[in-house]
Amino acid sequence: ECAQHRKNLTENPVYKAAMDQAMERSLSTVGPHETGGLLGKSLLVHSSEHYVSEFYDPPAGTPKHRLSGGTAWELQQIENNQATAEYEYSFHTHPFNEGDPVEGVPGATHGAQDWESDNDQKVGERLGLPIVVVTKTDILVYDTAKGIRCKFSR
């Protein structure tokens, strides 16, 4: 299963470009912050685009280590686009370095970036999609319901 996820995420030009663009956004001039979205297949038979990507940036003032509002946004996108897209992955970035201070949390530092949080697992279960975490160097895919956890280089 990990081999298929690797192929889907690194060889599909739409998915790869979306993850690269999300990381670029995450490392923008406003400073490192999480961003993410959805990756899926177009259900429009006559569309020249067979794959789709949707982006989510959290509202201004959101702690940079959180994707506040992301789950509600993803659920809304899935509902709104059910006739035009079948989403395969929920993805978001972890653009920090281990040991970096957590903005707004005195004394806290970021842990390893190639690991999903308990909240990430809950989001995956709620959406019914595998979660993809994109770090500066790696891609992590996990599906708690299926017991799948994969890690490979970007």
Residue-wise pLDDT tens digits, 135-151: 999 999 988 777 778 99
Q: In 3-state terms, what secondary structure has residue 22?
A: helix
Residue-wise pLDDT tens digits, 65-124: 888 888 899 999 999 999 999 999 999 999 999 999 988 889 999 988 887 777 777 788
- pTM to 2 decimal places: 0.89
Q: How far apart are CA 154 and CA 19, in angstroms?
A: 9
Higher pLDDT, 103 or 45: 103
The end-to-end CA distance of the chain, in Å, is: 17
Higher pLDDT, 68 or 5: 5
Mean pLDDT, rounded, for 15-36: 90
DSSP annotation of 115 reads S
| Phi then psi dihedrals of residue 102, to 5 deg | -85, 115
